[in-house]
Chains A and B, each alone.
Chain A
Amino acid sequence: MIGSLLRLAWRNLWWNPRRTLIAMSAIGFGYAMLLFVACLMAGLRQQMIETGTDLVLSEIQVHAPHYDPDHPISLTLGGRNGTDVNAAMAAIAADPRVQAASPRVYGYGLVSGTHQSAGAQLVGVVPDREQTITLLQTRMVKGGYLSAATPKGVVIGDQLATTIGVQVGSEIVVLTPAADGSTGNDLYTVTGLFHTGLDEMDGGLVFMPLATLQELLRLPPERIHEIGIKLHDISDAAATAAALQIQLGKFFPVRARPWQVLAPELADYVQFNRRVTFILFFIFFALAAMGIVNTMLMAIIERTREFGMLMAVGMRPFQVVGLIVAEAAGLAAASLILGAAVGVPILWYLQVHGLDLGHDGGTVSVAGVVVGPYWYGQQDFASYAEAALGLAITALVAALYPAMRAARFRPAEAMRKV
């Protein structure tokens, strides 16, 4: 019964192939567009989360409870006595979701080159470890990244280098209030310049080996401000942070926060991006619904006599509804297949080649994160399925109105219609 209904519906669709094909290509092209947009939006989210967290932030940060970057340097993990850094790192690494972790020390100081001075944040990292959680080493434009072999070597942003008039190989003086109240100052050699495209990083960060900054700030080795963590899967960030907070809390008072809390503007943007994608879906569903209503309405008006005849020979109204809904479903299914056929090469292209945002290193900065020079797509199968499912449901719902109309035909009148 259902099988014959579907067969009948499919045959009816091709009763007027031109109309069906036009409707199919409209809906199918729309679906391909949705795939395109969903893929690009997912790619943007992915790229933003990755650059936002992997450049310097990291995915989870562990601090002393009241620490924030403006706080005095005395707020180290484990308080004034510090902590056994290796034990804390081991405790973090014990969580199977953690891929890598790296300790950090922060300060703020005056950085002076040949003539000019500028204020900058000082970041002390363990070069080998830091490279396992962040990607700054991939953004070096001159010279190289920090190395354990050059304890007095620092890397700074290219903008800061221009501001204070230094190059790779130049000496800089760093002046900073130290933990004991004295004024820490020393000479360092610039071994590399990085460029991230973000002014606050390129113009305001100085990276140096952890032990070097601890010495400048007169902090003993067991005193660090932060542990940055990278996970195997970034979507575990919130849950892992909560677990680490409990786990590390056994050693010292601690606050572990995922990137969504550390960079709320980034998390907001990801939310916003998802919503925009969803709104686009709905606009498309509405358009598709109108197309289907129109197609099916035209179809039943043209086929009034046919429906009258079918009902006269015993087709029940609910079967008429079923027939028309089945036709709509067939139309939607064929459209989706067509759309997917058009869309898959586009998705492949976006993932492999990306959209070129400009040849000379053109970048776009969104919510404080740089995207580019290529905007790559990211396969978001959940969204593709949602779009397909939404479209199918839309088609069925949209077919109901024409179907109800057809179901109310009176056979005698309907058969007399021209």
Chain B
Amino acid sequence: MRWQKGIGAICLILAWSSFGHIARADDQPARGRLSGIAPQFIGQSCIATVVMEINKEDWQRKIKMQFWALGGTKFLIRILEPQEDAGTAILKVDNTTWYYLPKAKRTVEMLPSMMLSSWMGSHFTLSDLVSESTLTDDYATATSFEGDRNGVAVSEYTLTPKSDAAVVWGKIILEIRQADQMPVWQRFYDEDGKLVRELSFSDYKTVSGKLIPTHLVMKPLDQAPEQTSITFENIVFDSPIAEDIFALKNLKQ
């Protein structure tokens, strides 16, 4: 479906794309209900300033970056702060990812395995930030709750992996607000049914005519009290982006 590409383009947050995927899921009522959500996130392009705050047991860091996405296949991240990482750029075109290292003044191609390990020490992987989610094909969806929670009408959906899917999660449960179809939280369970991490959404704002959550917090629940938050500043959808911004030779700037 066409809109899916669009979702990829803004899936700085894996969660967003997963809602889109529910729209084509197995549970017919859930699918019908959710089908209205996906188009909300359609965007051919996205430009955003993003602040990532990482709180680890040993250290805290704040990373400010500029993010460009086009058509769900091209992504560019430039790190603005802190000083020691400023100038680092990450370019992903289709399935290949490059890292530009300002200190070495070199461009390095990433290995697929590194896409799936912690990025900059955060609780997100690079793949979380610049990939289209594959929840689409891998999970079956069922409505597990509908009604009021904390005075807000919400729907809760449970995603379970299809039998032949090679996925890391044993189960994903997510909650959305019925009124505006905004995500509230998404919880990830391991194969033993243990809650492993929780992604929560807040600060819903209308940007370029779309309502989106602009603050996300990822908390691992199986280890020390750590978390990574992502805050969107200056997000713009569907403004024209020159294609050559995604050219490898323009990576160093």
Contacts and interface: CB of A to CB of B under 8 A. Distances in A.
Nearest to B109: A117
Interface in B106-136: 106, 108-111, 113-114, 118, 120-122
Contacts of B61: 180-182
B104 interface: yes
A354 to B, nearest CB: 41
Nearest to A177: B121
Given A175-B99, A180-B61, A181-B120, A119 B111 contact: yes
Contacts of A117: 108-111
A180 B59 contact: yes
Contacts of B110: 110, 117
B182 interface: no
Interface residues of B, number: 25
Given A110-B108, A187-B106, A177 B85 contact: no
A268 interface: no
B120 A185 contact: no
Nearest to A74: B58
A117 B115 CA distance: 13
Contact of A181 (B59, B108, B109, B113): B59
B120 A177 contact: yes
Interface string A167-179: 0000001010101
Given A112-B109, A116-B109, A117-B111, A182 B103 contact: no
A386 interface: no
B65 interface: no
Contacts of B88: 183
B85 to A, nearest CB: 5
B56 A181 contact: yes
Nearest to B105: A187
A129 interface: no
Interface in A167-220: 173, 175, 177, 179-183, 185-187
B109 A183 contact: no
Contacts of B84: 182
A118 B120 CA distance: 19
Contact of A173 (B106, B114, B120): B106
Interface string B160-182: 00000000000000000000000
B50 interface: no
A185 B108 CA distance: 11
A contact patch SS: strand
B82 interface: yes
A118 B108 CA distance: 10
Given A177-B120, A177-B121, A119 B114 contact: yes
Contacts of B122: 181
Contacts of B118: 177
Contacts of A179: 58
A408 interface: no
B184 interface: no
A118 B111 contact: yes
Contacts of A180: 59, 61
Nearest to A187: B104
Contacts of A182: 61, 82, 84-85, 120-121
Contacts of B114: 110, 119
22 contacts: A110-B110, A112-B106, A112-B108, A112-B109, A115-B109, A117-B111, A118-B111, A119-B111, A119-B113, A173-B104, A173-B106, A173-B108, A180-B61, A181-B120, A181-B122, A182-B84, A182-B85, A183-B85, A185-B101, A186-B103, A187-B104, A187-B105
Given A173-B106, A181-B121, 16 more contacts: A74-B58, A110-B99, A110-B108, A110-B110, A112-B108, A115-B109, A117-B108, A117-B109, A175-B108, A177-B118, A177-B121, A179-B58, A181-B56, A182-B120, A185-B103, A187-B103
Interface of A: 74, 80, 110, 112, 115-119, 173, 175, 177, 179-183, 185-187
Interface of B: 54, 56, 58-59, 61, 82, 84-85, 88, 99, 101, 103-106, 108-111, 113-114, 118, 120-122
